[in-house]
């Protein structure tokens, strides 16, 4: 987090609390989130996008709760002027429990259950993002039964897939999400409408005709960990092209356009993401140009960043346990020594290494960093050799049992992807601010895990 520093004893201080105090109070492994850092990143998105799109239109920033959600985090987002994006009934329940205004909540998901849809409708949330024609029909029916009109966005696949520096434009998307803009092979071609006969076009027509659906607009999400604006620009231009065709054919200007999340962060020194302002300005330019070309008003814009708000605000603290030194072959055939530093967590609290080959950095956090350093690999305590938290990092040779290590940029998709693999209890999540810490999510206990086992429960 931006507010991290070292005290005069060399201890890392997060939100005004030093890491040894945090570990003593809450144990390790421990997820620590700086509330101020979360809030200022949230605010930066709102300011950057609102400024870039002013005066033509307003922007809603939805915090993507899948990155990390708790009632406090949802409230922080709401207090900073964000809406909350949820991707399941469980996430929706947290947003509602946090008393986020229902009109400022969205619900995603490629396979929503009827129960999830009904819950969203009854709560009166601001938008349901429909992912398929099947779902659109079910939303209409369920809204009819509930006696309401469902506010709906359509999730489209604009054929742009972006990741970090690159975006790849493909003709059609081979993925489970969303409605394709590519006409089906048996569709009649239409000179004026390149989208005619595509699932996206059918969905728009169904939604416009459906009695219990209010079609708010179009949505897309083009990828993760994106650094450059071009992918967003290309996707926006495609969806605006479709908005133009909808206007031409049906005389309606759909009022909203959601360009999803995926804004990248720095996990290691190799990553250099742009400030939200740079993305916002480039995107606003592209949106204006595309809307001018179609002769439509600039729609209300929304985005859904998750990682870029909570990722850098979070740090995981671990205690060092066993270490061993091995000799390995270096890149040019030389012999290198590598130290394996095992910590008291691993792939159950940070699955991203195993899932995505993700890389992190780490620092010795509980004391001054002095002397020589050794190439180290931070591994967990799970029974898998892929259980790696940080692949390559130079740590002081004096690193010893019980030293605290801090792994930055773990606020997003670490707690939310955590598991009980090997029956490790999931760590607590604490927030730090102004020299104090408070628990957001309690540490799981062994008893809570064992209680799910009927044989164990039968004994009491």
Q: Give contact residues for ligand LLP (rule: CB under 6 A).
A: 64, 66-67, 85, 108, 221, 224, 260-263, 304-308, 352, 356, 412-413, 417
C-beta neighbour count of 330 within 10 angstroms: 12
CA distance 233 to 446: 49
444 marked among binding-site residues: no
Q: Which is nearer to ligand LLP, 87 or 298 (CB)?
A: 87
CB of 129 to ligand LLP, least distance (A): 7
Extract the tokens encoding 397: 């040779």
Annotated ligand binding at 262? The verdict is: yes
Q: For residue 50, what are its two tokens?
A: 């609102």
Choice between 39 and 221, CB closer to ligand LLP:
221
Alpha carbon distance 407, 390 (integer Å)? 8
Residue 306 labelled as part of a binding site: yes
**Which candidate in 83, 220, 291, 383 is catalytic?**
383
Nearest distance in Å: CB 417, ligand LLP: 6
- C-alpha count within 13 angstroms, C-beta hemisphere, residue 322: 5
Q: What is the DSSP letter of 443?
A: P
Binding site annotation covers 305? yes
Beta bridge partner(s), residue 405: 318, 364
| 8 Å CB contact between 82 and 61 | yes
- CA atoms of 31 and 350, how far apart (whole Å): 10
- The yes-or-no answer on residue 383 being catalytic is yes
State in angstroms the smallest separation of the CB of 386 from ligand LLP. 16
**CA–CA distance, 363 with 371 (Å, rounded to integer):** 14
Preceding amide of 55 cis, omega within 30:
yes
The single residue listed with the structure tokens 């164990």 is: 456
384 labelled as ligand-binding?
Answer: yes
Whose Cβ is closer to ligand LLP: residue 23's or residue 308's? 308
Q: Which is nearer to ligand LLP, 176 or 451 (CB)?
A: 176
**Nearest distance, CB of residue 352 and ligand LLP, angstroms:** 5
How far is residue 156's CA from residue 203's CA, in Å, rounded to a whole number?
10
Closest of 286, 218, 279 to residue 51, by C-alpha:
279
Among candidates 7, 11, 8, 68, which has minimal Cα distance to 38? Answer: 68
CA–CA gap between residue 270 and residue 20 (Å, rounded)? 29
CA distance 170 to 180: 11
- 316 forms beta bridges with 31, 407
Measured from the CB atom, is 263 or 433 closer to ligand LLP?
A: 263
Q: How far is the CB of 224 from ligand LLP (least distance, A)?
A: 4
When the beta carbons of 53 and 267 are compared against ligand LLP, the nearer one is 267
304 annotated to bind ligand: yes
Classified as helix, coil or strand, 366 is coil
* Residue 27 near residue 17, CB atoms below 8 Å: no
| Residue 307 assigned ligand-binding role | yes
Structure tokens at 223: 């990828």
Residue 99 Cβ vs ligand LLP, minimum distance, rounded to whole Å: 22
Between 381 and 415, name the residue whose CB sits nearer to ligand LLP. 415
Q: CB 264 → ligand LLP: shortest distance, Å?
A: 8
Q: Which residues are annotated as a binding site?
A: 262, 304-307, 352, 356, 384, 413
Q: Which residues are annotated as a binding site for substrate?
A: 307, 352, 356, 384, 413
Residues with a catalytic annotation lie at 383
Q: Which residues are annotated as a binding site for pyridoxal 5'-phosphate?
A: 262, 304-307, 413
């Amino acid at each position: 987090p931006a507010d991290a520093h070292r005290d005069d004893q060399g201890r890392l201080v997060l939100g005004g609390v030093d890491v040894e105090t945090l570990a003593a109070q809450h144990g390790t492994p421990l997820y620590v989130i700086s509330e101020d850092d979360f809030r200022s990143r949230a605010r930066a998105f709102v300011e950057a996008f609102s400024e870039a799109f002013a005066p033509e239109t307003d922007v809603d920033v939805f915090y993507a709760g899948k990155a990390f959600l708790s009632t406090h985090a949802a409230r922080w987002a709401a207090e900073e002027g964000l809406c909350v994006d949820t991707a399941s009934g469980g996430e929706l329940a947290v947003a509602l429990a946090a008393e986020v205004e229902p009109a400022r909540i969205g619900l995603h998901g490629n396979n929503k259950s009827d129960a999830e849809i009904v819950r969203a409708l009854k709560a009166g949330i601001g938008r349901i993002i429909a992912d398929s024609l099947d779902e659109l029909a079910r939303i209409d029916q369920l809204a009819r039964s509930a006696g309401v009109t469902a506010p709906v966005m359509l999730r489209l696949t604009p054929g742009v897939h972006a990741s970090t520096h690159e975006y790849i434009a493909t003709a059609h998307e081979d993925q489970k999400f969303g409605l394709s803009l590519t006409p089906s092979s048996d569709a009649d071609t239409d000179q004026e409408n390149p989208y005619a006969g595509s699932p996206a076009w059918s969905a728009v027509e169904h939604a416009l005709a459906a009695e219990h659906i209010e079609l708010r607009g179009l949505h897309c999400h083009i990828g993760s960990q994106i650094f450059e604006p071009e992918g967003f620009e290309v996707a926006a231009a495609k969806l605006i092209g479709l908005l133009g065709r909808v206007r031409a054919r049906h005389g309606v200007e759909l009022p909203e356009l959601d360009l999803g999340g995926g804004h990248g962060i720095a996990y290691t020194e190799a990553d250099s993401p742009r400030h939200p302002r740079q993305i916002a300005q480039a995107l606003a330019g592209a949106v204006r140009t595309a809307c001018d070309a179609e002769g439509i008003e600039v729609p209300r814009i929304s985005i859904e960043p998750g990682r870029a708000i909570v990722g850098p605000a979070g740090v995981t603290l671990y205690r060092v346990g066993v270490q061993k030194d091995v000799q390995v072959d270096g890149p040019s055939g030389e012999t290198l020594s590598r130290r394996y530093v095992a910590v008291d967590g691993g792939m159950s609290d940070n699955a991203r290494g195993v899932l995505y080959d993700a890389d992190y950095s780490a620092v010795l956090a509980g004391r001054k960093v002095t002397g020589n350093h050794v190439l180290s690999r931070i591994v967990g305590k799970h029974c898998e050799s892929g259980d790696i938290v940080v692949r390559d990092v130079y740590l002081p040779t004096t690193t010893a049992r019980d030293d605290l290590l801090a792994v930055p940029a773990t606020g997003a998709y670490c707690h939310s992807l955590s598991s009980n693999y090997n029956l490790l209890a999931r760590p607590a999540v604490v927030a730090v601010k102004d020299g104090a810490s408070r628990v957001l999510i309690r540490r799981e206990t062994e008893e809570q895990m064992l209680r799910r086992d009927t044989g164990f429960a039968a004994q009491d």
